[in-house]
Chain A
Amino acid sequence: MKEPLPFDHRPDTMLGEALRRALDPGDAAPFVARVLARAAEARVASWDAVLARWARAGVAAAVLVALATGYLVGRASAAPTPRPSVYDALMAPPAHPGEVEIVLASVIGN
């Protein structure tokens, strides 16, 4: 047999065909179907993982918002009301004006 050139750039069709037959994997349809099914499963799994990641982040954010809201509401309701000054107390309209009139009438009457 003629020794091939070391750097023969042309494919050897006879050897290639024999090797192709030797390595023939058989029917491709079941293999393709299997790969596509696994790809679909992997895609669903990856979506689940994405949603799970977002769900965890969402729960954490909701907890933070609830805590912050509770803190602000609690702080607002616990704040003390300012006490009225003496001036305000004297100048404010009387809560029970009748009592003042009664006192004045009794003083005038006596």
Chain B
Amino acid sequence: MESARAVSTPRLIQLAVASLLLGSLAGCASQSVEIRSLPPDTPAADNAAAALIATELAGALASESASTASAKDAAAPPLVTPADAPSMATYDPWARLNRFTYRFNARFDEAVFLRVANGYRRLPSPLRSGVHNFFGNLAEVDNIINYVLQARPIRGLRSAARLLINSTIGIGGLIDVAKQIKLPAAPTGVSATLATWGVHPGPYLVIPLVGPSTLRDGIGLVGDFGAAHAVNLANLYRGNESWYLEGVNLVDQRANVDFRYYASGSPFEYETLRFLYVRKRLIEDSGLRKFAQPRPARPEVPAGE
């Protein structure tokens, strides 16, 4: 009896997961009306956040204009000209597969991922920010490794200091104390390291559950995952518990992204996201290689190749 129960518990979990997956694939348009309760709207907080950004912006613009003169004298990186902009077309040789994965992601998100994330969003916000800070703190290990590989020791030291401070005074990373003493997070990763040494984004790639990416960013994800497991900070990445940990991390990540598949209602959403994602990454790459010889602009080559 006892042994039977021991076997059946994981079975039940498997069944539950399988039925969730099936539900997501079957679609859910069976009833003519579906009413779904959402986390509450927060107009006051939204406006306060906008006001905060406006204040910071005003401060940044003021200090920027004050420091422009001196900054120009120091070796300023060469300016990007309109002719340097990548083609408006995007390198996407795996478009068929990518579109399929995008649709899968949209259905899975609607049926499972977003629902779980919306449930999580109802938890008290101190709890959620604790979870978020905790995972951000764990990621500092990967940041340190990659800043070293990028030959940016100052940034690496900053990440190390953050890890040290937040793990101790910040109670295991639950509180971002370092941010309050002017050491804000500066996440990086394997993909940024590759970009630093000149690796192009490569083909556009939609990753299951993750979403828009490129071949290089996909490899970077695997690298970040591997690095965290290899270092195995506080032995968190061994045993079955580590899967729960990754699960909570995923939900936390999803809950912090204000995006919903096909909220645009537009059949061009795949094209729009691909366009924006690859340009964003290319601009970030150019920030990592400010003084490198710019690639000759070749408008006939699609962006990312």
Do these two chains interact?
A: no
